[in-house]
Amino acid sequence: MPPPANASHQQAIAATRHWLEQAVIGLNLCPFAKGVHSKGQVRYVVSDATDDVSLLADLERELHALLAVAPEEIDTTLLIHPWVLNDFEDFVAFLDLVNVVLRTQQLEGVLQVASFHPQYAFADTDADDITNCTNRAPFPTLHLLREASLDRAVAAFPDAALIYERNLQTLRELGSAGWQALGVGAPPGEGK
């Protein structure tokens, strides 16, 4: 379901920050998020793009903007794009272009892009499986990460390989009612 046409940048950032605090950090879906959030090292950017080409240009600009600052200042960027790629299949197809940008800009191994979407569904799950919520955000979002920061975080977290399985269990225990109580978006099967 697309966002309201009158959603402002401030509303998109507020909803995304709330999701980060309540779901990602609150449920410990990403044990690395709390540190950068508490230090104010997360940059929130709302793209005005309404088509793939404009979003690609915004992505390239933000990748280079992230590289231009020290990690201690900005370690990661959430590129929120409420007005484009609201259909999940279109979003997934666009991710191939993201990888092309990383390759052509010679940023592989330097930066990576993770993906979040209100309709996120893993390939091996039904659309209404609660475990899809691990990657569901209020708006389509591209998460720009520094590889070096990610490597340090993974090295400091002894069981990093188990995060995915733990997250699935957390969401199963939380259930749709628990997800809804977080106020971060419609649980699976609702709001279609």
Which tens digit of pLDDT belongs to each residue from 160-178? Answer: 779 999 999 999 999 999 9
- In this prediction the pTM is 0.93
pLDDT bracket for residue 46 (50, 70, 90) = very high
Residue 116 pLDDT greater than 90, yes or no: yes
Closest CA to 80 of 48, 52, 121, 122: 48
pLDDT of residue 1: 43
pLDDT of residue 175: 96
* 169 vs 159, higher pLDDT: 169
Q: Which residues have C-beta within 8 Å of that of residue 149, sequence separation ≥ 6?
A: 36, 71, 75, 76
Rounded to the nearest 10 degrees, what angle do helices 52-67 and 88-104 cross at? 50
From residue 29, alpha-carbon distances to 11, 119, 130, 138 in Å are 23, 18, 14, 16
| Percent of residues, the chain, with pLDDT higher than 90 | 84
Tens of pLDDT along 75-88?
999 999 999 999 99
